[in-house]
Structure 1
Amino acid sequence: MHRLNFAVLLILLGLIAGIVCSPYFQVTSLVAGGLCILSLLALVVIHIWHKRSDIASIPFLFSAIALSFFIGTFATAIHNPLLQEHHYVHKADSLDHTVHLNIVEKLKPSAYQDKFVGRVLLMDSKTVTGKVLLNVSKDSLAPSLRVGDNVVLSSAIEPVPKPRSPYQFDYGKYLKSRHIYGQMRVSNDDIYKLGASSGNMLLLWASRFRESVQQTLQSYPFSDRQLAIINALFLGQRQDIDKEMSSQYAAAGMMHILAVSGLHVGIIFMLLKVLTKPLDRKKWRWLRSLMIITAIWAFATITGLSPSVMRAATMFTFLEIGTIWGGKRASPNALIYSALLLLLIDPNLIYHVGFQLSYLAVAAILWVQPWLFGFWNPRNYVLRILWGTVTVTTAAQLGVVPVSLFYFHQFPGLFLLSNIAILPLLTYLLSVGIVVIVLAILGWLPDSWAQGFGSAIDALNNFIAWVARQESFVIQDITIGIFVLLSSYVLIVCVVTVLKKYSYGKLMLCGISIVLFVSATLYERSLMPEDHFVIFQQSRGSLFGKLQHNEMTLYSNDTTYDASKDYKVKSYRQALTLHSARVDTLFNAFRFKRNKILRIDSLGIYGVPNLVPDYIVLTESPKINLTRLLNYFPNATVIADGSNYRSYVELWEATCRKRKIPFHSTYEKGAFVIYE
């Protein structure tokens, strides 16, 4: 990258290191602030020395990196809600509390519940802070809550959910990254709405505007699926995306299209640059940039100012300002400054996959795409556009592929073809869609235009469905660890650097990076997962698993069970780098190492000869006298899986608690794993 400020880049890396290392240090904001002051003093002393001697330049740089490291720990500490004295987690318990909430966000509902994010204002008439996940049982007769509503309800604030299967997506961890540390479960009858809505007036206006647009669009000949895409692309609302459509976009590797993020903001940014091209003169350049930045933030506000949209809008704002100050060559530095600002505002962004993908993709485009584009300079306008799309897609994919493999464990072989088709179509939908929505609001939208726009949306959905069916082009079950991830980026940087401009020193660095990558790969391949026996959590039927000598065997009482379609097993295999799992019949007795495991099903038979179990697994709600069973096996640990009635589980738990016998319910605590 031309004119890249490597000092600022190192400071950004120091800030990231401070944020990532902060949880391991567990320092308070006071201690972190003191370290920042000491680092700053050291920096000032070295700066004074630097005026007299050139030798001090390296210590000055290291002191600046150390300062940024401690600023990262300080920012993490002061933004940690759990360290705030009045946060509700310090006052909540298992009892019901009268809570006053302000609804700040509506989430995608589940099959049985509507989900909202609420800001806690009062708890038992005492002022508190913090955000909770509000789960409201669905009721077709009751009006849904709206953003800005003030409600009072009585319920316990429960911890956020934990994963119920090993290596499953940790939804609770995701909620914590958004500073949501508790959840409440209520029905509509338990909610009492207060008077006028309140909260951030800008977001409140944006929410009401979205609702008005949604109601207006329903009067035009759009199908439900077309409206769902319009709501997702232009209003940032994905609640109406059905399961089949979501699965198709996920299988095609195009789920990011449905979430307003850097891709959408980037396309709108480029459209605005084209539309304002006549103002690209020296005296009008600032006005042009002001119009572009204002339009980007207007779009971000209308879509709800989600974290992905805010970081994208901030990133492109800095890129536009950088272009004004230093031309295109200042763009890389503007990208770094925007990342610094966002991480100082919210250090938790570093853990967001979207944040990582956005910045890596844009950084790769700024660095690699101009070099790739220089290999061919077609004179034909259409070929030039296609070649530009190919180079942008290739550069972005090069930047994100290691992180994508790390999180999603698959590589879309049709990514180039998909993006060549999708990017022009998405650009068309975004540009024309804005006009369609404006005309619809004004009441001037002809039905024929609406039908034509709907047909373009159907074309997008049909193409995505076709790509999703090409399963042979998707390379799945690719598992890499953190060492391979980091060494991959070192390898990519070194290889591209030596290809762009050859030198012997760069070639040596490239060779070292290859050795580093191979060593990291061999090291991770040598890590064998520890043998274990697991009782999975699932509501229908029972599922046990045994990993021994790096081979996985699943035991199920369902004769139609297909492990390849079981998401929790797929995540489990990918994490353990297992390519397949054998399925066998579920037995009533197992032996794993020194442990004996007895399974009791609905028949209630447990008289297995010569078996004194260390673990008793209750499945399918057996009608047994648990007290009598524990008299036979007083030293056994009792486990109840998700196939049992909840009322039975509660009685068994009470019996075990009374007799001080270990009890584990997979429904409440997740899967049970035996290692020794």
Structure 2
Amino acid sequence: MNRQPLLILVCCFILGILIQDYFSFERDFVFIIALVCLLIAISLFFKSFLISKLNSILIGLLFFGLGISMHFLNFPKTSQISFTTNENITFKISKKLNSTEKNKKYEAIVKIKNQIFNTVLLIPKESKELDFEHYYRAKSYISQPQSPEYDFQFDYAKYLHRKDIFYQCYVNGEISSAKRNDLSFNEKIRQKRLEVLKEINNSAMSSKSQEFLKGIILADRTEIDSETLQDFNRSGLVHFLAISGTHIVVIFGMFYFLLMKFLPLRFRKSVIIVSLGFIWVFALFIGFGSSVVRSCIMLTMYFCYVLLQRKPDLLHALALSAFTILIIDTQQLFDVGFQLSFLAVLGIYWLNQPILKHLPKQNNHFKKIIYNTVSISISAQMVTLPLVLFYFHQFSFVSFAANLFIVPFSEVIIIFSFVMAGLLALGFDFKIINIIYDVTIDLLLTVIHWFADCESLFFENISMNGVEVAMLFVIVYFLRFVIVKSNFRCAPQFSLAVLMFFIVRISFTIYENKRQEVLVHHYKKGKIVSVKNKSSVCFWIENVIDQEKIRQYIINPYISSRRVKNIKIERLPAVSGKVVFNNKIYNLK
């Protein structure tokens, strides 16, 4: 507690959130916990009545109880709305989401008979783009998203519930609109962002360059084609496309560099404050996305130490950032981006310097940039790898090489893209600059596609559960001591952790390979039957046209969860209610 008090208290707060999320304590019990927290807070002012060694424990319990109480308050409660299946709805959009093959998607605020609620709104893809300047009215099919049939599937309903969304509306009629005269300040900013996105769409750049520019600067990946997204995912570079800490640091550095060129050194503190102000204005303009806000808070906390003339402490800044975000919205803890971004920073803190010391001596500026990029990339990827395997069940060894090759050029790409977006927002569309940008992005996407195309280095459907993830983090913890001392004095703990991991992993695999089960899955209006016998499974599919989507949403998650080695896909018989697999007859009726 004496060395990293803030980090430990934030961990206690997070533990409280997790406990409340798992057990869902009722209001009366949470009220008792809040009352105990209040008593602890009051008692801390009277140290004479306490043994000093108990203070740390009491403060930890205080933050633990605070986590339970705040998560109870932040947990969305289901709003009971009375409606018929098809209703005439009045709505306004609050956020644009990624489009599907058939529909454009938005988050919207809907009103039905004086009932107001949040929803995911889907409209036909050929429909006109919606904006923030209008109220809309249309006939819509309303439904509630359902939890998945089985535990290995992504729980989209729970994901929406964490965002206080309990309904989906499918517009199936003509959309009428009326001009709004009650736009809030935030909505005016969002509308301006939409206008800049339209300017980019109307530019002379290629469509791929337009979508890349909108994604890397304006956090709009709604229309990026699936092939490009797949390339970024398979090459381990999806963080480069999304607005993240790298982008915020580069934009901050750009403003800081330009201001310092025109102002004397004595204004350095003022330049830092102004540069921080710029990144917050930028965050406001692109919609205060979760990853952007996280990055801005972390950078602001870090430079607060600089402004206060205190030695910057990365863990203190990290802890303050996490606590600030979670005290506002505890649901952020369950956001994958939140977990990966903070783990990446922890990884850099834990492994960067030990790895850097084993690289060749950095005796010039160029070597410092290259070797720091190498050590930071390896550190961040090694610590985030367990969670990447847990959530996405895939990994490519080429991601290390791809990051080492692309990241050094990321600063140039981000600055170039920022300037391009700024020029287009101001109405300047220079043909020669468009051509240069097109060539640059086309070359970048070609290189990324080359990395993504290394099939032999890409592995998917990797099984990983929570226990295995925890043990991998233990391995990463001991890895630092092995690297620092460069000998085998710390190897026993590291080796034991590795051995225990493989014992646990083999045990889970043996357990799953003994399981036999027959499951009936539903996708759209079709039916899929899976029959698992030990380490083999066969899928009988009713609608083979959607086989690619079925593989993505049902087959691959099942394989990852059940640790299956051999799979077979067949056409489901239209008449017979029986199937044969491994010389056994299964009755499906």
TM-score, normalised relative to structure 1: 0.78
Specify whether residues 407 and 212 from structure 1 end up closer, same or farther in structure 2 by C-alpha distance, changes over 3 A only: same
8 Å contact kept, 1:104–1:199: no
Q: Which residue of 2 aligns with 1:648?
A: none
Q: Which residue of 2 aligns with 1:67?
A: 62
Select the residue among 397, 406, 420 that pairs with 1:422: 406
Counterpart-to-counterpart distance in 2, 1:502 and 1:33? 52
8 Å contact kept, 1:97–1:124: no
8 Å contact kept, 1:108–1:239: yes
Q: Does 1:313 align with 2:274?
A: no
Counterpart-to-counterpart distance in 1, 2:241 and 2:547? 29
Counterpart-to-counterpart distance in 2, 1:591 and 1:19? 48
8 Å contact kept, 2:236–2:402: no
Specify whether residues 208 and 562 from structure 1 end up closer, same or farther in structure 2 by C-alpha distance, changes over 3 A only: closer
Specify whether residues 449 and 580 from structure 1 end up closer, same or farther in structure 2 by C-alpha distance, changes over 3 A only: same
Q: Does 1:245 align with 2:241?
A: no
8 Å contact kept, 1:17–1:69: yes
Unaligned runs of 5+ in 2: none
Counterpart-to-counterpart distance in 1, 2:547 and 2:118? 39
- State the shift of 1:360 in Å: 0.6
Specify whether residues 467 and 447 from structure 1 end up closer, same or farther in structure 2 by C-alpha distance, changes over 3 A only: same
Q: Does 1:133 align with 2:120?
A: yes
State the secondary structure of the residue aligned to 2:522: coil
List structure 1 segments (4+ residues) > 6 angstroms apart after TM superposition: 279-282, 502-508, 557-565
Select the residue among 6, 10, 15 that pairs with 1:12: 10
8 Å contact kept, 2:133–2:179: no
- State the shift of 1:227 in Å: 0.6
State the secondary structure of the residue aligned to 1:575: helix
Select the residue among 472, 489, 512 that pairs with 2:456: 472
- State the shift of 1:224 in Å: 0.8
The residue type equivalent to 1:369 in the other structure is N
Listed one character per residue, the Cα deviations across residues 444-489 of structure 1 (whole Å, up to 9, x for unaligned) are 5531122111211111111111111101112333212111111221
Residues 174-213 of structure 1 aligned to structure 2 (within 5 Å): 174-189=159-174, 191-196=175-180, 198-202=182-186, 204-213=187-196
Specify whether residues 135 and 553 from structure 1 end up closer, same or farther in structure 2 by C-alpha distance, changes over 3 A only: same
Considering only aligned residues, what root-mean-square deviation do their CA atoms show, in Å?
3.4
Q: Which residue of 1 aligns with 2:75?
A: 80
Select the residue among 309, 330, 339 that pairs with 1:356: 339
The residue type equivalent to 2:52 in the other structure is A
Counterpart-to-counterpart distance in 2, 1:394 and 1:103? 41
Q: Which residue of 1 aligns with 2:511?
A: 527
Listed one character per residue, the Cα deviations across residues 549-597 of structure 1 (whole Å, up to 9, x for unaligned) are 232123357899989992221121011111331345655224899x986
Matched residue pairs, number? 582
Specify whether residues 12 and 438 from structure 1 end up closer, same or farther in structure 2 by C-alpha distance, changes over 3 A only: same
Residues 530-569 of structure 1 aligned to structure 2 (within 5 Å): 530-538=515-523, 543-556=528-541, 566-567=551-552, 568-569=554-555
Q: Which residue of 2 aligns with 1:111?
A: 101
8 Å contact kept, 1:92–1:157: no
Q: Which residue of 2 aligns with 1:124?
A: 113
State the secondary structure of the residue aligned to 1:260: coil
Listed one character per residue, the Cα deviations across residues 164-188 of structure 1 (whole Å, up to 9, x for unaligned) are 6762333223222222111111135
Residues 390-405 of structure 1 aligned to structure 2 (within 5 Å): 390-405=374-389
Residues 261-340 of structure 1 aligned to structure 2 (within 5 Å): 261-276=244-259, 283-325=266-308, 327=310, 329-340=312-323
Counterpart-to-counterpart distance in 1, 2:171 and 2:548? 35
8 Å contact kept, 1:39–1:63: no
The residue type equivalent to 1:450 in the other structure is N
- State the shift of 1:24 in Å: 3.2
Listed one character per residue, the Cα deviations across residues 189-216 of structure 1 (whole Å, up to 9, x for unaligned) are 1x443331545413x2332322332343
The residue type equivalent to 1:193 in the other structure is S
8 Å contact kept, 1:98–1:124: no
The residue type equivalent to 1:580 in the other structure is N
8 Å contact kept, 1:573–1:580: no
Q: Does 1:495 align with 2:479?
A: yes
The residue type equivalent to 2:533 in the other structure is Q
Q: Which residue of 1 aligns with 2:559?
A: 573
Counterpart-to-counterpart distance in 2, 1:551 and 1:506? 41
- Percentage of pairs with the same residue: 21
State the secondary structure of the residue aligned to 1:14: helix
The residue type equivalent to 1:341 in the other structure is T
Bigger-Rg structure (1/2): 1
- State the shift of 1:329 in Å: 3.6
Listed one character per residue, the Cα deviations across residues 355-377 of structure 1 (whole Å, up to 9, x for unaligned) are 01111111222332233323333
State the secondary structure of the residue aligned to 2:46: helix
8 Å contact kept, 1:4–1:333: no
Counterpart-to-counterpart distance in 2, 1:26 and 1:166? 19
Q: Which residue of 2 aligns with 1:640?
A: none
State the secondary structure of the residue aligned to 1:90: coil
The residue type equivalent to 1:378 in the other structure is Q
Counterpart-to-counterpart distance in 1, 2:546 and 2:125? 31
Counterpart-to-counterpart distance in 2, 1:198 and 1:538? 42
Q: Does 1:582 align with 2:582?
A: no
Counterpart-to-counterpart distance in 1, 2:581 and 2:398? 44
Specify whether residues 508 and 269 from structure 1 end up closer, same or farther in structure 2 by C-alpha distance, changes over 3 A only: farther
State the secondary structure of the residue aligned to 1:453: helix
- State the shift of 1:307 in Å: 1.9
Specify whether residues 413 and 167 from structure 1 end up closer, same or farther in structure 2 by C-alpha distance, changes over 3 A only: same
Specify whether residues 161 and 285 from structure 1 end up closer, same or farther in structure 2 by C-alpha distance, changes over 3 A only: farther
Counterpart-to-counterpart distance in 1, 2:256 and 2:349? 17
Specify whether residues 47 and 260 from structure 1 end up closer, same or farther in structure 2 by C-alpha distance, changes over 3 A only: same
Counterpart-to-counterpart distance in 2, 1:438 and 1:23? 43
8 Å contact kept, 1:315–1:338: yes
Q: Which residue of 1 aligns with 2:154?
A: 169
- State the shift of 1:331 in Å: 2.3
State the secondary structure of the residue aligned to 2:438: helix
Counterpart-to-counterpart distance in 2, 1:444 and 1:321? 37
Q: Which residue of 2 aligns with 1:158?
A: 143
Counterpart-to-counterpart distance in 2, 1:460 and 1:399? 27
Unaligned runs of 5+ in 1: 599-614, 617-676
Q: Which residue of 2 aligns with 1:56?
A: 52
Counterpart-to-counterpart distance in 2, 1:520 and 1:424? 39
Listed one character per residue, the Cα deviations across residues 243-287 of structure 1 (whole Å, up to 9, x for unaligned) are 222222222222233322333223323444544556999853431
- State the shift of 1:334 in Å: 0.9
- Comparing 102-111 with 433-442, which one deviates more in the overlay? 433-442
Counterpart-to-counterpart distance in 2, 1:273 and 1:24? 45
Specify whether residues 27 and 219 from structure 1 end up closer, same or farther in structure 2 by C-alpha distance, changes over 3 A only: closer
The residue type equivalent to 2:21 in the other structure is P
